[in-house]
Structure formats: C-alpha cells, structure tokens
Structure 1
Amino acid sequence: MAYTAADVKTLRERTGAGMMDCKKAMDETNGDLEAAVDVLRAKGLAAAVKKSSRTAAEGLVGVAVSGLHGVAVEVNSETDFVAKNDQFQDFVRSVTQVALDTSAADIETLKEAAYPGGGTVTEKLTNNVATIGENQQLRRLKHVSVTSGIVVPYMHNAAAANLGKIGVLVALESTAGADVLEPLGKQIAMHIAAAFPLALNAGDLDADLITRERKIAAEKAAESGKPAEVQAKIVDGAVAKYAKENALLSQVFVMDNKTPVAQVIEAAGKAAGAKITLVDYVRYQLGEGIEKETTDFAAEVAAAAGI
C-alpha cells in the first residue's frame, strides 16, 4: 500500500511523533495509517501527544555565549525531578547551543533546526517526551549581541554549567578590556537576577503596566480628598517612582544599595578610560508567568469513586 507526504503529516498530527519515526512506521506497515499509529504507540512514541496537555512549569533555563553573541533558552518540564535528569539536561544544553549556532530568531525556527546527531529539534523533543515520560516544551529564547565588548552569562541556582533556574545575559558595548567588562558584567547580572528589572529604560516599560499603575495611583489619590491638581501630581509621582524602580538603569545597585546602575556603569567606564554602555540584557526565570495547575486529590478520589 503506497502512502503520501500528507499521510505522514496526518500520522504526525495524530501521534505527536517525529517525522522520521512516522515514515518508518508507515514503511513498516506498508502505508496502513491505523497500523502505523499502533506501531508508534507500541514503541511509546505516540504517548507524547497525550502528555502535551499537561502543564509544564518546571525545567531549566540554558545560556550560551560565543564571542560577541549570547542566547538564553527556557525549556519546561512537568516536574523538578526531570530537570535533574541527565538526558533532559543534555537536551537543554544542546538546544541552547543550536539556538546560538543557528541564530534562530524564535522558538518555531528553533524547532525546525537540525539537532546534533540527526533529525530536528522537534523530533528530538518528541522522543524525549516519550522516553522520559513527561510533557516538555520549548518556551522562549532571546539573543543579545554587541559589536565591540562582551556578553556575560550568569546562572543563579545552577543545576549544572550554564543550566539553572534563573539565567541572565548582560551585553556591554565598549572598547575596554575583558578584565574590566567581565567582573562588571557579572555584578550587573547578579543585580538583574536579584532585582528583576522589567525593562532596560523607563521608556521601554510595557505601556499596559504603566496604565495599570496610573489607574491604581489615581484610585489611591482620589481617596485622599485633595484638589484635582494635587491628585494629578501624586499620580505622576507614583508612576515615575514605579518606572524608576523597575527600569534596570535607574534601579539602585544591589551591591551598595545607593548608586543607580547607570552611574555604576558610567563610573566603571571613566575608570577604564573607555565608555561602557549596557545595550541589552536577558533575565529568564524558570516558569515565570505560567499558571500551574492545582490538584484537589481528595476531590479526584471522590470523583473516581462516584461519591
């Protein structure tokens, strides 16, 4: 029985297995789609499609740097236990390197990239889901680069080299030497990990966040009963304070609790005799923004028992 590329695509959609595994299954079953599904199920490769609906909020963040370019990638799993699995760690390490080597602009591009040893990143991930037994997902990536200077990586709560819970990259543009830029970059990266800035500059803060803060400030000001013009100044002051505290360059440096980060960088540049500019950064904290499912075990037991 002959089969087409469309048949292989259908098999992939039904099972979640990799392209090559689907083609082999179709060959093995002489093009019988239903039999091919059973073959993949028997091999454990079709299990991935069922696991894909489960929440993956654990996992690892990986960082990699080469020359003037760096990338951070987040890969999620369902449990922290899997994050300690050598196979999973090797995948995160390898896929982060693939992202760096290919300059993949987004997750979809990364998924289609070639994986070391054969196949695509997606196919390798699907196989991992089947063999490890948990849903795993490539969540996000971001590149940073400089034309002259350094990209400094930092991993907080590291599980292994360049793998952990909070990954940071700092891109410093400068002609100063690595002996100056590397320790400065590491200190700034540690600050970023601790202070959780939301943007590089106040002007880069998400407009929706500013709108939300302005609304909250306006509600508080209205409760004061003060004149409208006074309330307006209170609101403006509150929004300005919010922006200052959440933009990296205006945050107070955690190392001394008094100097804005921008001034720390400026002082370092003056001491080195070369201007230093923080042009970009990445801070990926594992699972941030993912709503974890909560399970009422007692309710599940009751439902199963028909109570």
Structure 2
Amino acid sequence: MAKISAQQVKELRDKTGVGMMDAKKALVAVDGDMDKAIDFLREKGIAKAAKKSDRVAAEGLASVVVKGNTAAIVEVNAETDFVAQNDKFQALVKHTGEVIADAKPANVEAALEIKTEKGTLNDEFIEATQVIGEKITLRRFEVIEKSDNDNFGSYLHDGGRIAVLAVLEGADEATAKDVAMHVAAINPKYVNRDQVPADEVAHEKEVLTEEAKNEGKPEKIIEKMVEGRLNKFFSEISLDDQPFVKDGDQTVAKYVASKGGKVKAFYRYEVGEGIEKQENNFVDEVMSQIK
C-alpha cells in the first residue's frame, strides 16, 4: 500500500473540497493516484456533495433523544425550511441523536466518525445531501448525563424548530416537561440568579441606579427602587425567577418545589440561531438567468 502524505491529502481536498478523512480514504483506496482519487470521490458522490459546501445551511431541525440516564440534544441544518418536512431528513435527525446518545462523542468531528451500518455518520450525511439535494450538516449537540434521582423533560416546538431538554433534581418527568415547555416559550439565559455573572449584575445595578437618580428620586429610596428593578431584571433572564407560563401566580422555582424538585439545568436549541442567513434577491436571480 502506497504511503499517503499530508501534502497529497491537502491537494485532493483543494481540488474537490471534501473533508480530510474522505480525501485520505480515497487516496488509500487508489494507492495515491490523484486522478483516480478524484474519480473515486465523484463515483461515491462525495465530490458532488462537496460543491454545496459554500452554501449557507441555516434551516433544519433540532431534536432530543433520551436513553435512560443519558440524553442528547442535536441540531442538523439544511438550506431551506422545506427540508424539515422531508421524511428522510427527519429520520436522519432522529438517528443522529440516537447514535450520539449511544457513542457520546467529544465534538462534531468525532460524532461524524461514529461507525454506523452505512459506514460512518458522515457517510450518511453525504448520502442525504445527494438524495435531498441540499447541503446538510451536523451543527452542534450536547450529551447530558443524569442520576437516578433526576428527571429529564423534553419538548419540541413546531416539529423541532426549537428543542429543549430540562433536567430536574427530584419531581417527575411530567414536571420536567412542563419546565422544558416554559424554556421553549420564554427563553431564559440562566437557571437561577446565582448563575448570572457578577459583572453583569454590577453593570445592571449601575444602570438602574443612574436611571433612578435621573428620575430625581431621593437617595434614601433609590436603593429600594434598584433592588425592586433588579428583581425584575432577574425575572427576565433567570428561569427560577420567572413567572411560570402555566400559572403566572408562582415562579418556576416554586412550581417545581411544589412537585418535590428543583431545576438543575436546561438546554435550548433554536434552529439557525447565530447563523447569518443568506438573503437572495429573487428579481436579480431571475434576471441573471435571462441574460
């Protein structure tokens, strides 16, 4: 078997746009012949899929898979929201969550190398890209472990546009699901006020103090005003401090406590958040094809 150098791998990647592992596999399969390696990738459909690599994939689905004391929350992206209705794509998202929950990889790169019946998870993404005709990528995931005393609660909104996993100490699965639904709707940043960074709290307190001073309030009541407004600030970003969506007369923390538990953590994925979506001008697109 010919020895494959890093330079050969780089050259093949530059010519085809495929990933490092795919380039190396192709070169190994053809004993280092560059032209044959390109043909090999084309025959496998990998090079064709790579041509889609510069497209923006900001749509797709998120999902949660729970297996005993392990859960995985994943986001798989595609180029258009139509793909979310595709049965093959939906099956891929669910399957991805299952294999990640089982294998518990360290990162996306490791996840794509997970062995499956079709080779690797990456091979399955390549196949899906070919069949569906859009760039499909595994964007992110989290693997969460719990103790026997804890409860997972998951919730998918709009079929998976938003996916949430809540972890409660004590209580039960139904309560955990209620919390997950709340997180999907309200989108808190932290579990409780203790998790809010001290500098963020200090900054908010400074702003609120100046605000009260500018309102001409007496010094003796400014402190109490600031304290009250800080509580409102916490209720906006801290899950425990938020009025529970199903019963606004009690906070989430009090609701969970009434069920014998407390919130330990939550994970919320909203598809495409943080991705700069490509805006196409339809008129320009049509005119460019007429010319």
TM range (shorter): 0.7 to 0.9
The 1-side partners of 2:250 and 2:217 are apart by: 34
Matched, 1:171 2:156: no
Q: Which moved more, 1:4-13 or 1:206-215?
A: 206-215
The 2-side partners of 1:127 and 1:10 are apart by: 24
Deviations 1:53-110 (A, max 9, x none): 2221111111111112211111111111222222222221111111111222432332
Is the alpha carbon distance of 1:131 and 1:219 closer, same or farther for their aligned partners in structure 2, counting shifts above 3 Å? farther
The 2-side partners of 1:259 and 1:87 are apart by: 42
Residue number in structure 2 paired with 1:136? 136
Q: Secondary structure at the match of 2:189?
A: coil
Residue number in structure 2 paired with 1:15? 17
Deviation (angstroms), 1:146: 2.4
Residue number in structure 2 paired with 1:4? 4
Is the alpha carbon distance of 1:11 and 1:237 closer, same or farther for their aligned partners in structure 2, counting shifts above 3 Å? farther
Residue number in structure 1 paired with 2:188? 197
Residue number in structure 2 paired with 1:98? 99
The 2-side partners of 1:225 and 1:144 are apart by: 50
The 1-side partners of 2:114 and 2:85 are apart by: 25
Residue number in structure 2 paired with 1:145? 145
Q: Secondary structure at the match of 2:263?
A: strand
Residue number in structure 2 paired with 1:177? none
The 1-side partners of 2:157 and 2:229 are apart by: 31
Is the alpha carbon distance of 1:192 and 1:296 closer, same or farther for their aligned partners in structure 2, counting shifts above 3 Å? same
User: What letter corresponds to residue 138 of structure 1 in structure 2?
Assistant: L
Matched, 1:277 2:268: no
Q: Secondary structure at the match of 2:259?
A: helix
Is the alpha carbon distance of 1:75 and 1:225 closer, same or farther for their aligned partners in structure 2, counting shifts above 3 Å? same
Is the alpha carbon distance of 1:264 and 1:126 closer, same or farther for their aligned partners in structure 2, counting shifts above 3 Å? same
Conservation of the 8 A alpha-carbon contact between 1:222 and 1:231: yes
Q: Which moved more, 1:245-254 or 1:97-106?
A: 97-106
The 2-side partners of 1:152 and 1:206 are apart by: 26
Conservation of the 8 A alpha-carbon contact between 2:235 and 2:243: no
The 2-side partners of 1:283 and 1:249 are apart by: 16
Residue number in structure 2 paired with 1:288? 273
Deviation (angstroms), 1:186: 2.0
Deviation (angstroms), 1:200: 0.6
Identity over aligned pairs, percent: 38
Q: Secondary structure at the match of 1:258?
A: strand
Conservation of the 8 A alpha-carbon contact between 2:4 and 2:27: no
User: What letter corresponds to residue 66 of structure 2 in structure 1?
Assistant: V
Equivalent runs, 1:1-307 vs 2, <5 Å = 2=2, 4=4, 6=6, 7-8=8-9, 10-12=11-13, 14-16=16-18, 19=21, 23-24=25-26, 27-28=29-30, 31-41=32-42, 43-114=44-115, 116-147=116-147, 148-158=149-159, 164-174=160-170, 181-205=172-196, 217=208, 220-221=211-212, 224=215, 237-269=228-260, 276-300=261-285
User: What letter corresponds to residue 253 of structure 1 in structure 2?
Assistant: F
TM-score scaled by length of structure 2 = 0.82
Q: Secondary structure at the match of 2:66?
A: strand
User: What letter corresponds to residue 112 of structure 1 in structure 2?
Assistant: E
Output the aligned Cα RMSD.
3.3
Q: Which moved more, 1:202-211 or 1:101-110?
A: 202-211
Which 5+ residue runs of structure 1 have no aligned equivalent? 159-163, 175-179, 270-275
Which 5+ residue runs of structure 2 have no aligned equivalent? none
Conservation of the 8 A alpha-carbon contact between 1:15 and 1:47: no
Q: Secondary structure at the match of 2:142?
A: strand
Is the alpha carbon distance of 1:227 and 1:277 closer, same or farther for their aligned partners in structure 2, counting shifts above 3 Å? closer
Deviation (angstroms), 1:303: 6.8
Q: Secondary structure at the match of 1:198?
A: coil
Q: Secondary structure at the match of 1:96?
A: helix
Is the alpha carbon distance of 1:87 and 1:207 closer, same or farther for their aligned partners in structure 2, counting shifts above 3 Å? farther
Q: Which moved more, 1:234-243 or 1:213-222?
A: 213-222
User: What letter corresponds to residue 166 of structure 1 in structure 2?
Assistant: I
Q: Secondary structure at the match of 1:89?
A: helix
Deviations 1:129-174 (A, max 9, x none): 344322222222123332123212222222xxxxx22212122222
Conservation of the 8 A alpha-carbon contact between 1:218 and 1:231: yes
